[in-house]
Amino acid sequence: MFDILMYLFENYIHSESEIFVEENVLTDELRKAGFNNSEIFKALDWLEQLAQLQYSDERPYLHNAPTGACRIYTEYESMKLDTQCQGFLMFLEQIGVINSTTREMVIDRAVALDQEQIALDDLKWVVLMVLLSVPGQEQAYAQMEDLIFDDPNPTLH
- Specify the number of domains making up the chain: 1
Q: What is the pLDDT of residue 75?
A: 97
**Does the residue 155 lie in any domain?**
no
* Residue 133 near residue 54 (C-beta atoms within 8 A): yes
**Does the residue 157 lie in any domain?**
no
**Does the residue 106 lie in any domain?**
yes
**Does the residue 6 lie in any domain?**
yes
Classify 91 as helix, strand or coil: helix
**Does the residue 154 lie in any domain?**
no
More confident residue, 118 or 154: 118
**Does the residue 49 lie in any domain?**
yes
Distance from C-alpha of 69 to C-alpha of 65, rounded to nearest angstrom? 8
pTM of the complete model:
0.80
Distance from C-alpha of 155 to C-alpha of 88, rounded to nearest angstrom? 22
Residue-range definition of the domain harbouring residue 54: 2-149
pLDDT digits (tens, 9 = 90+) for 92-138: 999 999 998 899 999 999 999 999 999 999 999 999 999 988 888 88
> In Å, what is the CA distance from 52 to each residue of 20, 23, 105, 108, 149?
16, 17, 10, 12, 29
CA 132 to centroid of chain Cα atoms? 9
**Does the residue 123 lie in any domain?**
yes
**Does the residue 64 lie in any domain?**
yes
pLDDT digits (tens, 9 = 90+) for 59-90: 555 555 566 678 899 999 999 999 999 999 99
